[in-house]
Amino acid sequence: MSKNNILRIVGTVRLFCLVFIATGAVLCTMQITSLINQSQAFAEYHRAMIDWSFAIDFSTGFNYVVDLYKNGILGTVLLLVGLGALIWLRLRKQKWRIDAGVALKEQRAAYIFLIPAFLGLTFITYLPLIAALFVGFTDMTVFSMNRGDAPNFVGLENFINIFANPSINFLNSIFVTVYFALFSVVSSVAYSLFIAVLLNRKMPGRTFLRAVFYIPYILPAAATMISWHFLLRFEGGLVNYLLVSMGLERVNFLASAGTVIPSLVMIAVWASGNLIVIFLAGLQNVPRTYLEAAEVDGANFWQRFWRITIPCITPIIFFNMLMALVVSLQVVVPALTITRGGPGQSSMFMTFLLYHFGPRTGDFAMASAMSFVFFIISAILAAVIFLTSKKWIFYEGGDDR
């Protein structure tokens, strides 16, 4: 068979794969819409799952689940078949090329090992995200679900209310969260890099000090916040006691709108031991030949650090910035354990607002609308880091990544 005929067949099969993927996506969407419009089915399914007779009669339960989720099951199968066929075509196309020169076995192994991650992302992240988006266009609440009422489609009403309703003050929540995230990312990365540089030098007790700086990261977050709450209290707190002992005035760290975010950032910086460990690994991989050559040429410590060390660890800086941004945007433990969103609404983070409207009040539709807006904001900030990284990340060898 000629190469042109093979390419025509590949194009036809690829078209069928795209049809399978589109059909699977439509069926999954229909399944999610069906579940939203049949909240009674949720209640029946929940009651059946906690009924022991349901567990005993396996065939009845299996048939019930298949009937309830048949569109979703068929859609998922079509999606997996279409995506699997596209991957297979990609591998075969590489093989059919005369000058391919690609290690097909390694590519095939890579795709196989990516399948569990892809399935996890699909069922744990992407499908719930789509479901949350659909719920955001309805009036679903926990009370309507308990009554068995089908949720009504309300369009963009929930998205408009979260911005227009002054009692929600969603814009303030966005500002507080982004302010905390940016402040925390910059401070944590700078602090972690500084400590990592110090711990990378030869000194007595270096291993012990590394453990000391890493321990705060592995401590339970709630216990850490409660401990810091006692330390930063206005009356009886150790920090204010030390300030008074030095002749300074007390500071209302956690009960003042102007100091609560910097105080929480300080706690986040103190607990950034994971970033220190990652920076240490990056510093130890900086080529010694570069540093020795610069030292022979008369470069001082600052010149070697700024001209050699920093460029060599820019991929590590990028990774730490991205991970710190994701963690900081999802901050919720300080509000749950210490501030409760106060004073006023100066620490009303978006995740705490989601908790208030979701599990606490049961307004799932409003919480879903907020979560989707939260997702868009997080994606925009992450995209900014990715898009600007090409201008300042240096890879040894100069190859594009």
CATH number of the CATH domain containing 290: 1.10.3720.10
Q: State whether 129 and 174 are in the same domain.
A: no
Domain boundary pick from 116, 135, 154: 135
Q: State whether 249 and 177 are in the same domain.
A: yes
Domain boundary pick from 96, 117, 135: 135
Q: State whether 122 and 173 are in the same domain.
A: no
Q: Examine residue 25 and state whether it is found in any structural domain, yes or no.
A: yes
Q: Examine residue 155 and state whether it is found in any structural domain, yes or no.
A: no
Q: State whether 122 and 69 are in the same domain.
A: yes
- Quick check: 182 pLDDT over 90? yes
Give me the domain span that covers residue 59.
Answer: 3-135
Q: State whether 211 and 283 are in the same domain.
A: yes
Structure tokens, 329: 């945007």
Burial 228-256 (b: 16+ CB within 10 A, else e): bbeebbeeebebbeeeeeeeeeebbbbbe
Q: State whether 274 and 343 are in the same domain.
A: yes
Highest-pLDDT range among 28-42, 150-164, 238-252: 238-252
Residues 6+ apart with CB under 8 A from 184: 265, 268, 269, 324, 328, 331
Q: State whether 118 and 196 are in the same domain.
A: no
Q: Examine residue 209 and state whether it is found in any structural domain, yes or no.
A: yes
How far, in Å, CA of 364 to CA of 370, rounded? 10
* Res 107: pLDDT: 65
Overall pTM > 0.85: no
Name the pLDDT band for 4 (thresholds 50, 70, 90).
Answer: low
Q: State whether 118 and 173 are in the same domain.
A: no
Name the pLDDT band for 291 (thresholds 50, 70, 90).
Answer: confident
Provide the 8-state DSSP code for 169: -
- Quick check: 56 pLDDT over 60? no
Q: Examine residue 336 and state whether it is found in any structural domain, yes or no.
A: yes
Residue with the larger pLDDT of the pair 359 and 230: 230
Q: State whether 230 and 284 are in the same domain.
A: yes
Q: State whether 188 and 298 are in the same domain.
A: yes
* Res 71: pLDDT: 63
Residue with the larger pLDDT of the pair 117 and 369: 369
Total tally of structural domains belonging to the chain: 2
Q: Examine residue 119 and state whether it is found in any structural domain, yes or no.
A: yes
User: Rounded mean pLDDT of 337-362?
Assistant: 87
Q: Examine residue 150 and state whether it is found in any structural domain, yes or no.
A: no
Structure tokens, 384: 């900014």
* Res 140: pLDDT: 84
User: Rounded mean pLDDT of 69-84?
Assistant: 70
